[in-house]
Amino acid sequence: MQNKRRTLLKAIGGAGATIAAQPYLSFPAIAQNTPVRVGIIAPKSGIVGTIGECGLRGTQFAVERINAAGGIAGRKVELIVEEETNPKDSIERLRKLVLQDKVDCVQGIVSSGVSLAMGAVAEEMKALLVFWDGTTQDGVKETMPNARYVFRSTDNECEAVMASLLAIKYWKGQFATVAGINPDYSYGRNNMAAFLALLKKFNVDAKVVAEQWPKVGTLDLTTHVAALKAAKPDLVFSSLLFADLPIFMRTAHGAGLMDGKTKFVFPGAGFQHTLLKKQFTPEGMIFGHNTLYFASDNASPLQRLFVKEYEEKYKDYPHWEADRAYFAMQVYKAGVEAAYKAKNAWPSKEDVISSMEGVKIESLGGPGHMRKDHIAEQTFYQGLTTHKNRYDFATLGQVDRMYSDQLQKPPGVDFWKWIETAQIKL
């Protein structure tokens, strides 16, 4: 009886396996004139809608130039764009892209919650997936210790690490009390924790006098600012990065918190940079622009071209999500082309993956590469704000540039252990 049941269940399983295996089994001879299909999953609405839009523009810029130059190894790139919403629905879109549209590669994702769920699903489906963003510590530890098909962006905490290092470098000894106002989710919590851990590591004796955890995207921060002001901190660390950031800036300025006595560190300010107008964004604050600082003096011709086109087309200035999207596309392209060259025929998915590991590319914001453990390394830009520019918002005067291998844990190491034990330079 036991055996019969098992055999029956196995038979059903077998049927399922055969059916499921269909999409992955055959690699038909690919004619040079069929396009490479790339699926993009990016948010379009809600609080991260603006981020998805900027990223998508980066992808489109990359694809336009790739196709103008003849495509990836001679095949043009075709994009199929789906919307990132919540984990369940986003995974359904992934399944559609992979099973139905049979795309060669999927790129995108901004939210950490979605990336966690989707990474596991993509691994199980053996689907090549390159994340733009959304990499958190806990998730990676649990679900993808040895990713095979999924490639991740730099750690979410890189900007917090760099901002903390800059704060220590510029202001060590000038502050005794710190306060934090961070969005109430994993990103905000990890960033604040990283900041405090780094203060401890570099023996900066600072007392935490206030910690605010506004709900993500809270639009009324009057009370939060009042509470912060009441605590009289010397330095405020804030990883706010959505619509709540310019609101905080304005409210804090209005409440007199920016009168020069308090120092501010904003690791994620770059997302909203154009909304941080000079009137309420003073100079001398640490701003993080992640992997793309649009007004960099040492910008590559590629970046200059991108920023100029972006300004003409969209009457706006890009932030780093565009660079992340561009990076993802370039890593994929580089992997395919290297594998193609080695094989002298169109490469299989496994060939592409092997080629992507270790590949070096030039992204919009600067050089980057993909580690063998499928985590990206890119160039990060942060600095002190200035008003000396031709815009109505604050930009960076003093720009510090760090490669992410100084900002994120090396392969196989736990993030918190790394902060404690590694040789991190200022």
Partner 1 sequence: MSATGLSAEANGKQSGASRLRRHTALLVIVMAALIVLALFPSFAQPYYVTLVLPAFAYAIALLGFNLLFGYTGLLSFGHALFVALGAYGAAVLTSKLGIKSFELILLASGLAAVVVAIPVGLLAVRYVRIFFGILTLAFGMLFHSFLFKFYNITGGDTGIRVLRPALFGNEFSDLDKTAFLIGPFYYYCLVLLVVLGFVMWRIVHSPFGLHLTAIRENSRKAEYLGVRVRMFRLAAFLISAFYCAVGGVILAINTGQADPETAYWTHSGELVFMTVLGGFANFFGPLVGAFVFIFLKSELMSLTQYWRFFLGVTLALIVILFPRGVMGVAQDLWSKVKKKQ
Partner 2 sequence: MTSFFDILLGGVFHAAVLFLVAAGLQLVFGVQKIVNLACGSFYALGAYFGITSVNWALAAGLPPWMFLPVLIVSGIVLGAIGPAIEALLRTIYARDEAFQLLLTFALVLMFQDVLRFFWGPNPQQLSNLVTEYGRLSIGTFSVSTYNLLVIAASIVIAVGIGAFLQRTRFGRILRATAENREMSQALGVNVRWMYTSVFTLGTILGTVGGALVVPTAAASLDMPVELVVEAFAVVVIGGLGSMRGALVGALIVGLMRAAAITFYAELEILAIYLVVIIVLIARPAGLFGKPIE
Q: List interacting residues with partner 1 (CB under 8 A).
A: 5-6, 9, 12-17, 19-23, 44-45, 82-83, 86-89, 91-93, 95-96, 99-100, 112-113, 116-117, 120-121, 124-126, 136, 138-139, 142-143, 184-186, 189, 215-216
Any idea what the Cα angle at residue 318 is, between residues 314 and 324, rounded to 5°? 125
Least Cβ distance, residue 344 to partner 2 (angstroms): 44
Locate 344 and state its tokens: 């002298």
CA atoms within 13 A on the CB side of 425: 6
Sheet (strand 235-237) strand order: 207-212, 177-181, 235-237, 263-266, 286-288, 379-386, 395-403
Pattern 348-387, binding to partner 2, x per CB under 8 A? ----------------------------------------
Examine residue 45 and tell whether it contacts partner 2 (CB under 8 A).
Answer: yes
Q: What is the rounded distance in angstroms from the CA atom of residue 116 to the CA atom of residue 124?
A: 13
Amino acid letter at 5? R
Examine residue 50 and tell whether it contacts partner 2 (CB under 8 A).
Answer: yes
Which one, 212 or 355, has the nearer CB to partner 2? 212
Which one, 255 or 402, has the nearer CB to partner 2? 255
Least Cβ distance, residue 375 to partner 1 (angstroms): 18
Among 212, 290, 291, 379, binds partner 2 (CB under 8 A): 212
Q: Choosing among partner 2, partner 1, none, which partner's interface includes residue 226 (Cβ < 5 to 8 Å by kind)? A: partner 2
Which one, 44 or 277, has the nearer CB to partner 1? 44
Locate 11 and state its tokens: 């038979």
Q: What is the rounded distance in angstroms from the CA atom of residue 240 to the CA atom of residue 248?
A: 8
CA atoms within 13 A on the CB side of 107: 30
Greatest alpha-carbon pair distance for the chain in Å reads 82
Least Cβ distance, residue 43 to partner 2 (angstroms): 8
Q: Choosing among partner 1, partner 2, none, which partner's interface includes residue 12 (Cβ < 5 to 8 Å by kind)? A: partner 1
DSSP state of 36: E
Examine residue 170 and tell whether it contacts partner 2 (CB under 8 A).
Answer: no
Q: Choosing among partner 2, partner 1, none, which partner's interface includes residue 242 (Cβ < 5 to 8 Å by kind)? A: partner 2
Least Cβ distance, residue 45 to partner 1 (angstroms): 7
Least Cβ distance, residue 409 to partner 1 (angstroms): 18
Which one, 99 or 227, has the nearer CB to partner 1? 99
Q: b vs e for 23-33, b when ≥16 Cβ sit within 10 Å of the residue's Cβ?
A: eeeeeeeeeee
CA 159 to the chain's CA centroid:
10
Q: What is the rounded distance in angstroms from the CA atom of residue 142 to the CA atom of residue 128?
A: 20
Do the beta carbons of residue 310 and residue 57 sit within 8 Å? yes
Which one, 32 or 223, has the nearer CB to partner 1? 223
Least Cβ distance, residue 6 to partner 1 (angstroms): 7
Burial of 309 (0-12, 13-18, 19+ CB in 10 A): middle
Least Cβ distance, residue 283 to partner 2 (angstroms): 16
Q: What is the rounded distance in angstroms from the CA atom of residue 366 to the CA atom of residue 290?
A: 11
Which among 239, 163, 167 is positioned nearest to 402, based on CA atoms? 163
Helices (H), 293-397: 301-314, 320-343, 349-356
Least Cβ distance, residue 111 to partner 1 (angstroms): 8
From 80-88, 103-111, 188-196, 271-279, span contacting partner 2 (CB under 8 A): 271-279
Which one, 115 or 274, has the nearer CB to partner 1? 115
Which among 40, 38, 128, 106 is positioned nearest to 78, based on CA atoms? 38
Pattern 213-252, binding to partner 2, x per CB under 8 A? xxx-x-xx-xxxxxx-xx-----------xx--xx--xx-
| 3-class state of residue 148 by DSSP | coil
Residues in the site for partner 2, rule: CB under 8 A? 44-47, 49-50, 52-53, 210-215, 217, 219-220, 222-227, 229-230, 242-243, 246-247, 250-251, 253-256, 275, 277, 279-280, 392
